[in-house]
Amino acid sequence: MSEHSAKRRKWLSAAIGTVAGLAALGWGLKLGLRREEAAQAPSAPVSEPAQAFWTAEFERPEGGELLRVASLRDQPLLVNFWATWCAPCVKELPDIAQFQREFAPLGWRVLGLAVDAPTPVREFLKKLQLDFPQGMAGLTGTTLAKTLGNTQGGLPFTVAFDAQGEILWRKLGATTLDELRQLPLKIKH
């Protein structure tokens, strides 16, 4: 390893340690705050890909106010990128809905992001009512998914974030309920 590489790794390790320390400090401080105060408190710094996600806003299929992803922060979050024309996406949605029902009492939230046109999504959601929020990601969803690690741009793509807002797990391709049930075990307490 060259001297330049060694210095770079040392600097990178120090930077990661600093970010991790700040995240832990921020989370520890928030534990003592009431829920309303925690929602107003600044969140701990996260990686660039995570930051791109947390600043995103999406139209809701039913219209109304924009879905601001930042409103879902400070709890573990499972995000599923899907489309109505994607058979594996449609097949896994009931498992994702079941994960939400089982793990919501433990603080987990779920968000669906449809990489699709609004009309087919609205029609689809009339047939399969999902009990977790949905956002209309459209083609920007593909770009966001790539930022989060989906280098191939395929669907379905699922990402889990820890309560500090950092990427915990990601998967390209269909997931199963058994696989999702392992996610809470990956969180460091």
Q: Write the CA distances from 88 to 29, 79, 83, integer angstroms.
A: 41, 16, 9
Q: Which two tokens stand for residue 143?
A: 């770009």
Contact indicator for 51, 164 with CB cutoff of 8 Å: no
Model confidence over 100-123: pLDDT tens digits? Answer: 999 999 999 999 999 999 999 999
pLDDT of residue 189: 53
Cα–Cα dist 131/122, whole Å: 14
pLDDT of residue 44: 65
pLDDT beneath 50: ranges in the chain: 5-6, 8-42
Q: Write the CA distances from 70 to 38, 39, 89, integer angstroms.
A: 12, 9, 25
Question: DSSP of 54-114, one letter per residue?
Answer: HT-EEB-TT-SS-EEGGGG-SS-EEEEEE-TT-HHHHHHHHHHHHHHHHHGGGT-EEEEEE
Cα–Cα dist 89/50, whole Å: 23
pLDDT of residue 42: 47
| Amino acid sitting at position 33 | L
Q: Are strands 167-172 and 157-161 parallel, antiparallel or unpaired?
A: antiparallel
Cα–Cα dist 30/157, whole Å: 31
